[in-house]
Structure formats: C-alpha cells, structure tokens
Amino acid sequence: MFKDLLRTPAKLLFLLIFFFYVFDVNFSFVPITTSVGIGMIGVVALIAFMLTENIRVESKSVKAVWLLFLLVLCLLISVIYNQSTDFSFLFKEIFRNNILVFSGAFLMALMCSRWEISARDGLKCFIFVSALQSVITIISFIVPPVGESLRSIQSFNDRIANVLGDGIRAFGLGAGFDRGSFIMSFLLIITCYLYVTCGEEEKKGKYIFLYILQAFAGLLMARSIITGVAFSLLYILLIPRKKFVAFKFVLKLVLTIASFVALVMVFFPNVLEKYQGTIVWLTEFFNTEKIAATGKTTNTLDTLFNHMYFVPEKTSTWVIGDGYYLNQHGSPYMNVDPCYMRYLLLFGVAGTAVFLIFIITLAFILRSDESDYFGEDKEHKTAYDLMLVFFVLEQLLIYVKLDFHFYFIVYFMLWLEFFNKKKFPVNYEALMERLTAGNIF
C-alpha cells in the first residue's frame, strides 16, 4: 500500500492527517485539538456517507453500541442518586474519546478506501507516524532550541510546563509524559506483530530499528514505557511456535542497543554527565530509598501503592458510585489516576463491569476469524488475535492512568475492515464534492 510513499502526494497527505489523528496536538493558536477537529469533520463525512450509501450494521457491532448506552445509563443513575452536577464523563469519555474518535477513524478509513488496504497496511500507518513522532521527540530533547520552538506553539497545563522547564523529560508534537508513553506502548505491540508476520520480501531489521526508536522516545517521555516493553516482548513469547523468533528478536535488540551505547560512549564521552538529571530520573525505580531520604522522590510505584489505591468506605460507592468523575478544579475526583478507581468512584461496580465488557467487545469485533484480511494463514491470524488480547490487557490491567489510544487503534481498524469486507462501491469523488460544497443532504 505504501510503496514509494514519499513520492505519492495523496498518500503522504493522508499520513500527515493521520499523524494529527493519532497524536492529539493542542496548538496554542487553534481553539480545539487536532483529533477533535478531525473527529468533527468525520461526523459530517459519516452523515454524508450514511445518506449516500446503503450501510448494514452487523449484530456484533450493535452490541457495542448498546453497551455504550448502558454505560451512560449507569452514569445517569449514579448522578441522579448522588445529586451530582458532574457530567464531565459524558463529554470526555463518551463524546470525546468514543464518538469523535469513532468518526475521526471513519474519515481516515474513508480517505484511504480507494487503495488496496489490509490489516497490516492499517497497522503500518500507526508505526509510520509513530516513527515520525519519535524522531521529533528525540530531536526536541537533544536540541533544546528545537524543543522550545515546538513547545511554544502548543498549549500545556501548568504541571507539564513546570516539569519541562528542568529539561529532564522529553515532549514531542502532541505526545509526552504518560500519555505519550501510553501511545508508544500500544505501538510497540503492533511493531512486534509486524515483525512476527513479516514475509520473506520484507526486511525484519527495520522493525528492530523502529522498536528501539519508539521505546527510546517513549522512555524519554515517561518511565511507564517499561511496562509496554515488557508486554510487547511477552506478546512475542506467547505466540505459538514463535519461541525461537522471540529469542532472535530479543538478541537482536540487545546487540543493537549495546552497539549503539558503545558508539555513543566513544564519540560522546560526556553524555552521562550532560544528561545526569535524566539518568537519575530514569533509574529512580532502583534508588527509591536513597532518593526518598532527600525528600524529593517522585517514584511512581511509591505514589501508586501508597496514595492512589484505597478501599471505598461507603457501601453505596461500591454499588452505585459517588457520581463524580472530576472535582471542581478539573482534576480527577479524589485525585486518583487508576482506571478502575475512577470508574468505581464514578458509577460503582456495575458501571465498571459494563466498561470492561465494552472494551472486550470492541476487540472481539475485530477477530481475524471473521475478517477477510488474513486468508488461510493461521499463524498470522493467531498473532493478530493475540495482539488484540494484549491491547485489552494493556488498556485495562497494566496502566495506572486511563488513556484512550486503544480507541484510536480499534476504531480505525474497525472502519478499515468495514470498507475491505463490505466492498462498497464508494463514490469518493461525489462524496468529497458534496462535503466541499457543504451540501450533505
């Protein structure tokens, strides 16, 4: 699909827009973020498409829609019962992270529906823009003037602005801190999938390079990328009959990283001293007691286990929640970041269970055995299905902070399958003419 990519203006333009779909850039001179803007355009495009094409929605997709409605119902019951005025969940998680991401994914899939697409092609889109983001992030970190220029055109909250001032952590274009590492962690698993399912005509070495590039950029953003690295390597190890492939992958990673570190130390002997602050921050997991003695520890594990998790005192909180997602200052209710705690405090065990089932249902919609992507290649199907399992686990079990890039990947893949499987004769030019003229009816 992306052969001679940079020589094809249409595909290059698509990937540029796709970058701003995946990485939600908050430009200081634009009132909305990029993925929100793309999602809004996608709403118009989706309405136009539904009016011009005969769309049949499958029952498995209807189940996901009903679960989303049920999630909203759990919220409303909790809000009414607790007499809460906090409806931020409706805007942030339902409208922003689902509806707009869903419509934005439709727009992205529509743009490339004229080309021959596959699951691998769609996943390569993520890796392409991730590699670009990684390069931007690393350059911004090692060349401070570049980073300052990029940051000057973006809007940040006070916490991020203050931390960036010390020069210890990196921030790219719409990606940084935990959210940036969350994105990279999902994409590390995708990179491993592409490596495992490589054909003889493809060079596997490029995926080794891309893996290291993303992991390194993610590490400069946030230490939580370590979890993504562990998960992605475990993913390869668990693929049936791929144990030797996993061994070779890890061996090549180690040798490449060791060679790179050796070269850096030879040609840049002062690098450890120059980035001492970053190295101390990255190794804080292993120096907790020493750093804690100075009273300056920001160790994530200490914060997680000593402050973030707790047992609700009221029975009603377990059953129906407290009806609050954010407090009056816009920060998480009771200052908790973990996904489960936020949802438990919002609408209790019932609402949390619906959320978990909703996430799992989205992954089941994309199973390879119901897709035309894979033909008869059982090993590729297994690798793809296991990748979806790891997406779900990473979204639900691993990260202490809730993030929504799971939806960016799943919804885009869902729409790609829609255009691929249904084989709709999409009149792309006519649809674009209607949208340009503002006449969708």
Which pLDDT score, from 0 to 100, does residue 423 have? Answer: 46
pLDDT digits (tens, 9 = 90+) for 125-143: 999 999 999 999 999 888 8
| Count of other CB atoms within 10 angstroms of residue 149 | 11
Average pLDDT over residues 204-233: 87
* SS3 call for 332: strand
pLDDT tens track for 152-205: 898 877 777 777 767 788 888 988 777 778 888 899 999 999 998 887 667 788
Burial of 26 (0-12, 13-18, 19+ CB in 10 A): middle
- CA torsion sign for 117, 20, 61, 49 is negative
Residue 306: band (very low, low, confident or very high) from pLDDT cuts 50, 70, 90? low
- d(Cα 142, Cα 138) in Å, to the nearest integer? 6
